[in-house]
Amino acid sequence: MAFEYPEDLKYLDTHEYVRLEGEIATIGITAFAVDQLGDIVFLELPEIGDAVSKKENFGTIESVKAVEDLKSPVTGIVIERNDNLIDSPEQLAEDPYGEGWLLKVRVNNTSEIDNALTAKQYSIQVEG
């Protein structure tokens, strides 16, 4: 099964994505990750004002199969989080790149994502 990986995003090998608009990064997880997890039942995210650090855990996502740590693609301060998903984590599967975003972070250094994977690189990595 082929998944969609929007070209305007950068990807981590841990299955998070980042969309950078100016100094604001929108962070979520990929359609591939959602599919691998199966039915998502619980989501833990940081509070607004919390600091996140590149490659460090910022929360957890729990499905009927597994509990996975969420890794930040950037360093910065959380300015928004998707409380709708905390209330209804199953909605993540419906639109992971749109309504299914997790956090918005004001980034300290936008060059941090320069080495992140492109859509094509990520697709090759997860689908071969």
Written as six digits, the tokens of 81 are: 């989080």
Where helices occur in 56-118 by DSSP H, the ranges are 83-87
Domain 10-112 indexed as CATH 2.60.40.420:
no
Domain limits of the chain?
Answer: 10-112
67 and 60 in contact (C-beta within 8 Å)? yes
Cα gap 61→125, rounded to integer Å:
22
Query: Along the 128 residues of the chain, how does pLDDT read in single tens digits?
Result: 568 899 999 999 999 999 999 999 999 999 999 999 999 999 999 999 999 999 999 999 999 999 999 999 999 999 999 999 999 998 999 999 999 999 999 999 999 999 999 999 999 999 88
Written as six digits, the tokens of 50 are: 């919390």
| Three-state DSSP class for residue 91 | helix
